[in-house]
Amino acid sequence: EVQLVESGGGLVQPGGSLRLSCAASGFTVSNNWMSWVRQAPGKGLEWMATLKPDGSEGYYVDSVKGRFTISRDNAKNSLYLQMNSLRVEDTAVYFCVRSGGAVWGQGALVTVSS
Amino acid sequence: DVVMTQSPLSLPVTLGQPASISCRSSQSLVSSDGNTYLNWFQQRPGQSPRRLIYKVSNWDSGVPDRFSGSGSGTDFTLKISRVEAEDVGVYYCMQGTHWPHTFGQGTKLEIK
């Protein structure tokens, strides 16, 4: 079964860091475009970042450039999102997504608050 | 960034009746490879989004054929031929042609 499972969410203070993980099963992460999409409480969807299949380049929305980094571990078949310098407005559920939205994880809640 | 504008934002529909959602982009979504990367997603209450339609008019696996997508360039439409109770939720269009990818604001479908 094709599945994505996120982990690593939680409560962090403004200015802090967090790393989200996304474990894939049923397909190979390194053969796919993989993305992170977030949804603030009660709000719509916002695309965050995408990693090319060859892993050579990541694309980011301007609001997270320089603060967030998308990466993967081929051996673990997993995708990651390193989030630094977190802001209150980064509070959201973060979804791991395969290939233009074909498969979504259940989401991981990140709360940035003092 | 490409702005995706959906209408209406709220869509009350009677069971068994058709429904239609419009999505307009601020730039053409025709890619240099000739494809148009316009997708439609459904998000039921409390669930993760699910892709219904990709590249304007292609059904994802398991999507009922009462859903259909059409359009070209900057103007796109999602239609539901006969609304069922399980269709309640929020619908989003998303463009994947230009970086950054962007979503519409969402259209909330409810049963009248």
With 90 as the cut, is the pLDDT of residue B22 above it? yes
- In chain B, the percentage of residues whose pLDDT exceeds 90 is 100
Task: Decide if B2 touches A, using CB distance below 8 A.
Answer: no
Positive or negative, the CA dihedral B37, B105, A32, B54 is negative
Task: Decide if B60 touches A, using CB distance below 8 A.
Answer: yes
Point out the residues of chain A with pLDDT beneath 70.
none
Task: Decide if A44 touches B, using CB distance below 8 A.
Answer: yes
Mean pLDDT of B5-9: 98
Mean pLDDT of B88-111: 97
Task: Decide if B49 touches A, using CB distance below 8 A.
Answer: yes
Cβ count within 10 A of residue B29: 26
Report the C-alpha gap between A11 and A49 in whole angstroms. Answer: 21
Q: Is A30 exposed, middle or buried (0-12, 13-18, 19+ CB in 10 A)?
A: middle
pLDDT digits (tens, 9 = 90+) for B49-59: 999 999 999 99
Cβ neighbours of residue A10 under 8 Å, at least 6 residues apart?
Answer: A18, A109, A110, A111
Model pLDDT, residue A56:
82
Positive or negative, the CA dihedral B17, B7, A36, A59 is positive
Q: Which of residues 67-96 of A touch B (CB under 8 A)?
A: 95
Task: Please report, in angstroms and rounded to a whole number, the separation of the first and last CA atoms in chain B.
Answer: 36
Which residues in B lie closer than 8 A to residue A105 (C-beta atoms)? 48
Task: Note whether B37 contacts A100, CB cutoff 8 Å.
Answer: yes
Task: Decide if B37 touches A, using CB distance below 8 A.
Answer: yes
* Distance of alpha carbon B65 from the chain centroid: 14
Model pLDDT, residue B60:
95
Model pLDDT, residue A100:
87
Which residues in B lie closer than 8 A to residue A68 (C-beta atoms)? none
Considering only CB atoms, A47 lies closest to which of B51, B102, B105, namely B102
Model pLDDT, residue A52:
93
Average pLDDT along chain B: 97
Report the C-alpha gap between A67 and A85 in whole angstroms. Answer: 6
Model pLDDT, residue A55:
84
Task: Decide if B40 touches A, using CB distance below 8 A.
Answer: no
Model pLDDT, residue B100:
94
Cβ neighbours of residue A16 under 8 Å, at least 6 residues apart?
Answer: A86, A112
